[in-house]
Structures are given as structure tokens and as C-alpha cells.
Structure 1
């Protein structure tokens, strides 16, 4: 269909798929108790390598193989066995087992070279080459899907302009099982993901000078069958996202019976570069009105303190670079504000009640005195 000729290769269809027992048979056939210790050790090492290949194949590619070759679909790829032997045989390990490679329309053998023609998904796998002494070399052949995978985007942020902090990047995909990134601009080493597709990449950007060259992050991903490569280029200043700041509600003043003024102090995150006058921050506060749950926000640039008036139940703060208008930091955790106004109002009511009782008692005492006084006058 679609102009592509259907592939019918009898040799391919009638090959025998051998399972892991093939490794045991090979080891037993080659091992001879009369051989020298060095020869036995060499055979044992080859056997161990084969077992590792088998485990890797069964559990899929969870890491980048040391040797791999990529090719696009319907292209030809030549594999070379790195050995000094003139004659070798080839095998392919895939999800089904081990396949012996023989000359065919789609596989051409020439000395230490194997050419795979019109590359298809069923030709993907771990190719091993063998001499009469055993395993000589291996190469993973993967299908290059870089042109197809346009939706896989790397996302990076930096807490500061300083090179003392690494760039944090995220990159995941359900189609691939192993990922790695590198800072190509600074010729950095490959970094594998630590957890949940998160990478931390070092860089050499000077926070006190203007950037003249963009950072270039290169990403590679592999799966049992496929390979993908992508690039992400940016200036560090465009991805700065400060860590959330430190806040404290250090003064609460009552104003009237049911109003209060809250003074909040905000300090830059510990990772933010100094002096702060050279790297000023803009702040935003979000707070909740106590009686109706309404959320309000305020922004300010000058100073680290802000006053908020009214009955507030909780608040939080975030910040960003004031000059470059970077991304906002994450919000701080909500900070509860004590209901000082209500407490004061209650105290006032109690005080009024006590005052009222005292006044009533005083009036009774005065009335009693008057009665006693007029009683004396009448008796007199």
C-alpha cells in the first residue's frame, strides 16, 4: 500500500528463533576442562557478556547502550564488526529471541561488514558478530524517529543567573524508556535523568555580564526499537524562575474594633544572587478575606515590607526579577494570620459588661445612702 512494496523474504520467514538456552549451549560446546586457565577465563567472560545482552534484551532498553547505530526507515545501514578476524557470522537479538543472519535481499554480508537494506522495524535489535573463538563485537541498530517526534519538548528553568546553581530541565515521553541531556554550548557531559524525567545541568554563564551566546541543550532518547534527538536553545535570562521567597508576619496592629493592619516582610530566596540592589525583585502577595473567603492580590517593587489592611485569614507571596520580568516563582506555603481583631472585640465586650455591672452596683449603693440619709432626717 501507499507505493511501498510488500516484503516477502522466505529466508527471513524460515529462520529459527532461539531462546536463552542458546547461550548455555554455546558455553558448554566451547568449554573444555583440558583448556588452560586463561582460555577458560576468556570463555567465561564471553559467556557473562552474552548473559548481560540477554538480560538487556528481555527487560528493554533502560539505559543508553555503549554502542549503537541509527538509521531512518527505508534507508540502508552498514554495521562493522571491530575484530581482526577475516570471517565472522552475525546474529540479531530482538524481543523474540536470537536470529542467525544469512545473506538475503535485505541483508548483505561482506567480510566484517553487514549492510541492512530498506530498514524496517523488524530489523531493529542488538547485532552481535562472532568468530570461531566466540563473541567479537556488538552494535544496537535503532530506528531514527527524530523527524517524526516533533511534540517532545524540553522545558528548563534556572533559580538564578549564577553558575553556582544548575539548570533544571524536564523531559519525558511514554514512547521512550531512557533519556539523557547535555549542555552542548559548554561542551558538557551527558546527564541521565535522576527521577521523573528531571535533569540538572551545569553551565558557565557569568551573572554579572550580558549573555552573548545562547545555551544549547541537546536531548537523546531510546527505546527497544527507536531513537530520537532534539535541541532546545535559549538565553539563561529567559528561563530564570526564582525559588519561592521567605516571609514572616512580624507585626499585627489593631485598628478599631474589627480592623487590623498586617505587616509582611519578604526576603529573597537563598539562591538569589547578591547584591540585591543589583538583582532587585518584584513581589506579589495574595491574601484571603476572613468573612467571605475572597482572594485579593497586591504587587510592590520598593522595599521588602508591605502593609495589608483588613480582616485576613491567610496569605502567601511570590517574586520575580524586576528588571527582566522573569517567570514568577512558585507561591510560598499559605501562612495563617491570627484573628487578633475578633479577640480584641470580644475583650472590649467583656470589659463593657464588667463596667456596666460596676456602674449598676455603684448606683445601688448611692441610692441606699440617699435613703438612709432621708430616713435619718425624718426621724430627727
Structure 2
């Protein structure tokens, strides 16, 4: 992402140990003030649970998101009759913000990389609340999140491919899109074979009824510099991609043909008469090594090996499964006899 590259370029220009509260030049000086009222509109995200490790000691309860060089207000979420003080923590270093005016809101102006970190409000030695300040990131390629359903059962899977973020979580429904407390966030179940984070999501759709409303999946991701939010909307039928066929068996027919029987994957919805699949068979000719394809169950006898793939036969969006492993013709014929 170009925006993340810019963040890293700025961070590399900062000298180690350089602080930005006092004694800095006007080009890098912090303009931090407290105010009881704010005209700045901020995006306040509750991030109570997430998967993955991070560069901070615990995943933040609250994140305040800002655009680079804009102003942002950070609220103290616990009110008290006594004055509060503010502290700033980053990379294990803690400092009191050099502004002692009373107030429950802290305004950070001209947000830049040195200002990213944890801001906490205090009543004496008691911390009342804290929030992490992060840049607002944009998923420029919109390719970080991919979802797939193996069938019309009550769950589907999503994969997160963006390696720049160290903590990611997913949620289903409007409550997650809107950042409501009622959202049930979902953690990753592990890593995909290609390194992406894998998520399993359960839904309550009836597979025998027509879908009227799209599913809404929201992903939230965070790293040391930025916060990213993505929402994808789709019908379940648009992401159905069966697993490869479970078994191929071949029957020798009179003449020059083989009849191929294809058993759907165990994960495919049943009854198969209702959830019908269409198949494509790929085979290799014995005499010249060329490949042929057929969407019919009848294929030539003079072949050395074959494989098949499947897709939903009724939907407009039809995603082919991966190919089944190659099997020899002799194995295919012996399978039907076993």
C-alpha cells in the first residue's frame, strides 16, 4: 500500500530517541491542547478482541483514527469532578503531555508518525481510560479479504491476505459494520497454506429459501501505524465454490466410450438431487498426449488419465472447484468394480 510506504518513509526520518513535546522546531512541533468541546469529527472504533500479535503489549480497547496532518480529538471516557492529566506512551516510553489545562478531551493537531501511540487520561495515579491513535488506512486494491462457501451449509470461510497488519478480526452483520458493542467479533482459526489468516463464519440462512438480503462481512485490522476497515456485501450463492469431487469411477460402454460417474465432495450440500452440480472432465489421449475436455459423462476410451471439477449448476455466478487429482484410466475402471 502506498499510504503505508509513506508512513515508513516518515518514520525512518525520525532520529532515535527524538521527542516531540518540547524544544523542537516549528516544522515538527506538536500542537496538543485540551478542549471541553470538539468540532472535529472522529472515527472511534471499539477493538476489544483480535487475533494475532502486535507491537503494543495488549490489543487496545479503543482506537482513534486520523488522516495524516489532520487534527483529531481523543476523549477521556470516564468522567470525574477532579481535573485530569494526559500521558503519551509509545515504544515503551511514557511522558506527560505538556499541557495542564483542565478538560476531558485531548486535541492532537497536524497528526504525524511521532504522535502515533497510546494516550491515557489520569486522575492522580489512577488511569481513567486510554486510546491508541492510528492513521486511517485505505485498502487500495480491495483485495485483502476473500470469502468462500464450500456449500449451502450454515458456515463459510474468509481469508485475509494483507500481511502489513498484525491484528485482524471479522464480524458479520450491520452491528459490526456500524461498530456497535453488540457485534460478535470472530478471531482467526489459523493460517492458510499460503500464509493468509483463515476465518470461519457462521450464518443463519435457510438453504432452501431464496436469499433476499446480502451478507455483510466487516474486517478490522491494525498495526503500529494504521487502522484499516473493510466491508464486503454479497449473497451466499455468489461465493459458493464446491470442493473437488470425492471420487471418479469409469464404466466401459459398448463402442469407443467410457461413462464417468462423479461423486461430489463430502462437504457438498444434500440431497444432491436438489443441490445439483455440473462437472467438467479433463483427460489425456494415449496416442498423442493431448488433452481433451468434456461436460458430458461420456469420454473416449483411448486415454491414459483423467480428472474432474464441479460447480453449482443453477446459479448465475458459477465458481469451479479445484481439479480432483489425476487418476489413471485403469484405476478409474477398477473403482466402479470395488
The verdict on a shared fold, with TM-score over 0.5 as the criterion, is yes
Distance 1:339 1:68, change over 3 A: closer
**2:312 matched to 1:321?**
yes
Alpha-carbon deviation of 1:273?
2.1
1:81 deviates by: 5.1
Closer, same or farther: CA 314–180 of 1 in aligned 2, 3 Å: same
**RMSD, aligned α-carbons:** 3.1
In 1, Cα distance between equivalents of 2:124 and 2:309:
69
Asked whether the 8 Å contact 2:135–2:225 carries over to 1, the reply is yes
SS of 2:267's equivalent in the other structure is coil
SS of the residue 1:12 aligns to: coil
Query: Residues of 2 paired with 1:63 and 1:248: CA distance?
Result: 51
Q: Do 1:125 and 1:141's aligned partners in 2 also have CA atoms closer than 8 Å?
A: yes
Q: Which residue of 2 aligns with 1:91?
A: 87
Does structure 2 retain, via aligned residues, the 8 Å contact 1:75–1:119?
yes
Q: Which runs of 5+ in 2 are unaligned?
A: 1-18, 25-52, 177-182, 333-338
Matched, 1:179 2:168: yes
Higher strand share: 2
Quick check: 2:280–2:294 contact (8 Å CA) kept in 1? yes
Residue deviations 1:157-197, cap 9 Å, x none? 1111232xx11112222332211111115866211223222
1:60 to 52, 55, 58: 55
Residue 338 in 1 paired to residue 333 in 2?
Answer: no
Counterpart for residue 203 of structure 2: 203
2-structure distance, mates of 1:288, 1:12: 72
Larger relative contact order (CA 8 Å, sep ≥ 6): 2
For residue 338 of structure 1, give the secondary structure of its aligned residue in structure 2.
helix
Structure with larger Rg: 1
Query: Secondary structure in 1 aligned to 2:289?
Result: coil
- Corresponding residue for residue 109 of structure 2: 117
Query: Does the 8 Å CA contact 1:283/1:318 hold for their aligned counterparts?
Result: yes
In the alignment, structure 1 residue 72 sits paired with structure 2 residue 67: yes
Query: Which deviates further from its counterpart, 182-191 or 207-216?
Result: 182-191
Name the SS of the counterpart of 1:237 in structure 2. Answer: helix
SS of equivalent to 1:191? coil
Aligned residues: 274
**Change over 3 Å in CA distance of 1:309–1:209 after alignment to 2:** same
| Residue pair 2:76, 2:128 contacting (<8 A) in 1 also | no
Is the 2:148–2:240 Cα contact (8 Å) retained in structure 1? yes
Check conservation: 1:83, 1:137, Cα contact below 8 A: no
1:1-380, aligned counterparts within 5 Å?
12-14=21-23, 60-61=55-56, 64-73=59-68, 74-80=70-76, 82=78, 84=80, 86-95=82-91, 97-103=93-99, 109-145=101-137, 148-153=138-143, 154-163=145-154, 166-185=155-174, 189-194=184-189, 195=191, 196-252=196-252, 261-300=257-296, 306-325=297-316, 326-338=318-330
Q: Could you give the per-residue CA deviations for residues 83-133 of structure 1, whole angstroms, max 9, x where no partner exists?
A: 636133322122372232112xxxx84334322223222211011233433
Structure-2 separation of matches of 1:155 and 1:318: 21
Instruction: Measure the CA separation in 1 of the matches of 2:331 and 2:274.
Output: 38
Distance change >3 Å, CA 311–CA 64, structure 1 → 2: farther
> Judging changes above 3 Å, is the alpha-carbon distance between structure 1 residues 84 and 63 closer, same or farther for their aligned structure 2 residues?
closer
Q: Any idea what SS the aligned residue of 1:122 has? A: helix
CA distance in 1, matches of 2:107, 2:67: 14
